[in-house]
Amino acid sequence: MVASNWAFVTASYVITWVVILGYLLHVHRAVQQARAEYERVTGHRPEAGGAA
Amino acid sequence: MTAVAHPIDVPRSGRWTLFGVVAFAVLIFTQVFAFVTSPPDANMGQLEKIMYVHVPAAWIMFVCFVIVMVYSLRFLWKGREEDDLLAAAAAEVGATFNGLTLVLGMLWGKPAWGVWWAWDARLTSTLVLFLVFVGYLALRAFVDDPQRRGQWSAAVGILGAINVPIVWMSVTWWRTLHQTPSSAQTMAPAYLAGLWTNAVAFLLIMIYFIRRRYEAACLIRAAEHAAQATALGGLE
């Protein structure tokens, strides 16, 4: 007999998306803070220079 | 060994925002695709659907740690700070996917094996890998000097990445609880398309995360370089 494991399947996908979206938020904030710091120190926006 | 002294090349955001949107759209599509197309397994029922997140997360974790090793070796060889920053970005993303792999494995293990955790060769070696890269990130947080931080973390990153083939081969060398690696030889064709498409989606997400994390690290270091240059200019 095959047991219903939907609770474990659902939990797996919920955790996966929480981790991925949480990390996305973390990365987004890190980039925004870094850009602000760069702009504050150098006085110009990051896109103005550097390699693509 | 070359000293870390040259200014950092600041990468542009440019098309990477669009890349991220596409990567997330692909991930949503592949997860729906795998759910719709894969039939319940004869023994495990719907539990096989965990494979579409657990296995790609594990593969991506391996890819990240191989990137850490390659760029750590490159940093030790050439002394380019960008290589160290890229290795660190890959280590952080890899540790995230490593943690996710462990949690998803536990969610698989409880209904499949009857236990959340067992000191099985694959589980234990994956946990060791996770702890090594958590240590790598902690080390970077505690060392201020960029060159010393780069050298020490490169050494830890290379040693940690040596564990990757051990984790990969653990199910072959020590036949314990964890099943053999998922591949075309060990899986029915009905499950392969879902697995491979999700692996590609996870790969895109990984590339996006590493690139953005690297961008943030480069901006911070470039700002530090600029601040140092201003301070030195003020002293002259």
Task: Considering only the beta carbons, identify the residue of B103, B110, B219 that sits closest to A35.
Answer: B219
Q: How large is the angle between the packed helices A6-42 and B16-37, nearest 10 degrees? A: 180
Phi, psi of B178, rounded to the nearest 5 degrees: -70, 140
CB pairs under 8 A between A and B: 114
Cβ atoms < 10 Å from Cβ of B61 = 28
The whole-number pLDDT of residue B49 equals: 93
The whole-number pLDDT of residue B109 equals: 93
Note whether B216 contacts A15, CB cutoff 8 Å: no
Note whether B11 contacts A52, CB cutoff 8 Å: yes
Q: What is the ipTM of this complex?
A: 0.89
Task: Yes or no: say if B27 and B205 are a contact pair by the CB < 8 Å rule.
Answer: yes
A12, A25, A31, A39: which to substitute to probe chain B, counting the most B Cβ within 10 Å? Answer: A12
Q: Which residues of A touch B47 (CB under 8 A)?
A: 5, 8-9
Q: Which residues of A touch B14 (CB under 8 A)?
A: 47, 52
Give the chain B residue nearest A30 (alpha carbons): B216
Note whether A16 contacts B100, CB cutoff 8 Å: yes
Q: How large is the angle between the packed helices B189-235 and B16-37, nearest 10 degrees? A: 160
Q: What is the pTM of this model?
A: 0.89
Distance from the Cα of A14 to chain B's closest Cα (Å) equals: 11
Token pair 């000097």 is found at B145
- pLDDT, one tens digit per residue, over B77-108 is 999 999 999 999 999 999 999 999 999 999 99
Q: Does A48 score more than 70 pLDDT? A: no
* Distances in whole angstroms, Cα of residue B28 to Cα of each of A8, B16, B39, B53, B150: 19, 18, 19, 12, 36
Note whether A34 contacts B42, CB cutoff 8 Å: no
- pLDDT, one tens digit per residue, over B177-221 is 777 766 666 777 778 889 999 999 999 999 999 999 999 999 999
Chain B CB within 8 Å of residue A28 CB? yes
The DSSP 8-state label assigned to residue B44 in this structure reads T
